[in-house]
Each structure stands twice: as C-alpha cells, then as structure tokens.
C-alpha cells in the first residue's frame, strides 16, 4: 500500500521470554505503539501481532512476528507481500550481543551478523537490502556460549540503561520514519549519552 511504512521488532513469543535481552525488538516497537496510541491485534493469517498508527504524515504498521526468532522471516514476508511494502520503507529492529549495552547501530543493509532473526528475514525476502536497527545488549566477558545471556533478563544494575536505550531506539525508529535513514543514523548511531553529539558515529 502506498505510503505505508513497516517497522518489525523481533523477539520470541510467550511470557517466559518477555523482557529478555533477545526480545529487545519487541520492547522497542511496544514503546512506539504506546507513543502513537496504537493497539495490538493478533492476525492469524500472518502469525503476527500488528498495530496500525499515524505518525505525523506517515502511516505506520508495527509488527511483532509470533513465530520463534529463527522462523520470523515467514510472517515478515507475508506482511510485506500483503501490504505491498516497498523495501526502503521497511525497518527491522533486533538485539545485538556484539554491541555493548547502550549502543545503537542503524544501517541501510548488510550482513545478518549471525542474528538468526535477520537471517530468516533475508532468506524469505531474498535480499539484505533493508534497514536494520541493532540494539546493543552486550555479552558476558569471556563467555563464548551466549544463549543463556541473551535469553535472560536485564540485571538490576542494567535496567535503567536498558530503559534509556529502548527509548532512544524508539526515537531513532521514529526519526527514520519521519526524516529518513541518514538523519536517523547521524543523530542516534553510537553510544547513548546525555550529550546529543558525544560518541556518535556515522
């Protein structure tokens, strides 16, 4: 559909995964839904939760696939195809254990970096040419096996920073929607800080 923008947050469905590091994408699109006063509806034909919103002059569709992370590409493909979303108007929001907590990185395309959700979307869409916003969740020092870490919840010392990064990520996604990817990258990419320009990267 003309002028429709799609923002997909990736995560695992189910109460046991709620608020875990791996569900950072879900948390970010939840923040957007709250800001835009958009309600979630489960749509069986897509196996996804969808929320429709008007953000300024843009029509936005938020999506939380209800397949597990490594199969999330199928619901995303079905939504993209049904609503005829042009790939320049599609953004995927994911967690990234290779980025420290407090880092954001938006890119117009590129490698999945081993993220199974991005891999699934790339396979289903047949391209890497779509925007992806990586939300840093960090990893445990010296630990190669990270499954337990990413499927765990933020510790008491991390929660305040995690809340700030989710808010900043939602603001970055909204900037992508309203002003384009270049402005969203220059304004938010890098280390979250109180100074608007400190630690930013292009």
Known catalytic residues are 22
- Alpha-carbon torsion angle 105, 118, 85, 133, nearest 10: -10
- Assess contact for 103 and 190: CB atoms under 8 A: yes
**Structural contact between residues 166 and 135, judged by C-beta atoms closer than 8 angstroms:** yes
Please give the biggest Cα pair distance in the chain. Answer: 48
CA 17/CA 5 separation, integer angstroms: 27
What three-state secondary structure class fits 60? strand
20 DSSP β-pair partners:
153
Distance CA 137, CA 27 (A): 13
CB 58 within 8 A of CB 178: yes
Our measurement of the distance from residue 26's CA atom to the centroid of its chain's CA atoms, rounded to an integer in Å, reads 7
């Amino acid at each position: 559909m003309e002028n429709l923008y799609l923002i997909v947050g990736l995560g695992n469905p189910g109460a046991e995964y709620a608020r875990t590091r791996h569900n950072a994408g879900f948390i970010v699109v939840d923040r957007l839904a709250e800001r835009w006063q958009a309600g979630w509806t489960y749509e069986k034909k897509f196996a996804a939760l969808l929320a429709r919103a008007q953000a300024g002059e843009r029509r936005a569709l938020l999506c939380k696939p209800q397949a597990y992370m490594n199969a999330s590409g199928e619901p995303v493909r079905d939504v993209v195809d049904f609503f005829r979303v042009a790939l320049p108007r599609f953004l995927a929001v994911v967690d990234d254990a290779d980025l420290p907590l407090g880092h954001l990185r938006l890119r117009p395309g590129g490698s999945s970096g081993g993220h199974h959700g991005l891999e699934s979307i790339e396979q289903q869409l047949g391209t890497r040419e779509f925007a992806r916003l990586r939300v840093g969740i960090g990893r445990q020092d010296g630990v190669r096996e990270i499954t337990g870490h990413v499927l765990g919840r933020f510790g008491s010392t991390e929660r305040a920073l995690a809340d700030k990064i989710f808010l900043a990520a939602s603001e970055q996604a909204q900037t992508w929607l309203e002003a384009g990817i270049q402005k969203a990258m220059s304004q938010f990419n890098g280390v979250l800080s109180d100074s608007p320009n400190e630690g930013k990267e292009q």
